Amino acid sequence: MSRVAVPALEDRATLGIGMMLAAWLFFSMIDTSVKWLVLAGLPALQLAFMRYVGHFVISTWLVARGGMDVERFKTDRLGLVLFRAYLLTSSTALNFIALIYLPLTVTASIMFTSPILVCLLGWPLLGERAGPWRIFGILLGFVGVLVVMRPFGTEFHWAMLLSLNNALAMALYSILTRKLSGVVSTEIMQFYMGLFGTVVLLPTAIWTWTNPTTTLDWVLLVLLGVFGWAGHELLTRAHRFATANTLMPYAYFFLLFLSISSYLIWGHIPDAATLIGAAIIIGSGLLIWVRTRKRAVLRTPPGV
């Protein structure tokens, strides 16, 4: 077991919500920066590597502050921690590739099927059965995805399938984060995430490496890892202070943040189908959230 202390869970919902909002702001800064850099000609897998190598350096320093004792880097949940890192690394790489071809608002809209998939996967993975209303919410969410993707129209792009894979990976990542919070320290989860992403993506980064041509591009390239570490640090810690059901609705601010940056930088305004599909997806996610909270209240004993 790691010697890094695992903080106990606390009931401080306001703090958890604030951390969640800040986390999604950092994530929007990653996607906006990546979109800028891929349009400048930098390879997507190089950017994915830089996102993790910076994360790795920061997280290693934080764990090693108390000494470079090997015991500090150990965890008895190593398998789950590494699988969690794999889910995020694969979704990051594929998302960065998707950003070459798709607007930020499209990738974000499809990604927000993740809370719906969490509900769908809750039965086989967590034993949480979905009632009729939540099943309706799941189906409604997939209708929203079809509206955004338009799979049988000329607007469909194969990169949308990468974003759909990202949503599935993020759903599993969310479930694992919830299971590991309060059991494995944030620092250890962050360390292995950075280590895994750095090692796996290093060969592709060497093969595809392209030097940025401007100072701004260099700054954004270096900051990718900082944004990634900060976002996941806040996201993981937020689950210490509030339940996943409390935090979930605030994830939709990610779409708002990306819409603002996309408009300010590229003047991009989402088309009607993207807006309608995003509204359906968000509505279905909120429906699932409301039903989940209602069931949780009904299960709570009087006086608790």
Query: Residue 304 has what pLDDT?
Result: 34
- What's the CA gap between 85 and 81, in Å, rounded? 6
Residues 6-28: what's their mean pLDDT? 79
Express each pLDDT in 139-151 by its tens digit.
787 788 788 877 7
Query: Residue 213 has what pLDDT?
Result: 93
Asked if residues 51 and 228 have their Cβ atoms less than 8 Å apart, the reply is: yes
**Is residue 115 pLDDT above 80, yes or no?**
no
List of residues 6+ apart from 3 with CB closer than 8 A: 66, 69, 71, 72, 74
Band the pLDDT of 203: cuts 50, 70, 90: very high
- Domain ranges for the chain, please list them: 11-129+153-240
Cα Rg of the chain, angstroms = 19
Q: Lowest-confidence range among 74-83, 124-133, 282-291?
A: 124-133
Higher local confidence (pLDDT), 255 or 51? 51
Asked if residues 145 and 277 have their Cβ atoms less than 8 Å apart, the reply is: yes
Higher local confidence (pLDDT), 119 or 62? 62
Band the pLDDT of 70: cuts 50, 70, 90: confident
Asked if residues 221 and 44 have their Cβ atoms less than 8 Å apart, the reply is: no
Q: Helix axis angle, 215-241 relative to 186-208, nearest 10°?
A: 150
Query: Residue 210 has what pLDDT?
Result: 95
Query: Residue 216 has what pLDDT?
Result: 96
**Is residue 220 pLDDT above 90, yes or no?**
yes
**Is residue 303 pLDDT above 50, yes or no?**
no
**Is residue 301 pLDDT above 50, yes or no?**
no
- What's the CA gap between 189 and 80, in Å, rounded? 10
**Is residue 19 pLDDT above 70, yes or no?**
yes
For the chain, give the percent of residues with pLDDT over 70: 85
**Is residue 119 pLDDT above 90, yes or no?**
no
Compute the mean pLDDT over every residue in the chain, rounded to the nearest whole number: 82
CA 209 to chain centre: 25
Express each pLDDT in 227-277 by its tens digit.
988 998 898 788 778 776 677 777 778 888 888 899 899 998 888 888 898
Query: Residue 295 has what pLDDT?
Result: 58
- What's the CA gap between 159 and 259, in Å, rounded? 19
Express each pLDDT in 127-141 by its tens digit.
666 677 777 877 787
Asked if residues 296 and 245 have their Cβ atoms less than 8 Å apart, the reply is: yes
Structure tokens at 241: 């202070």
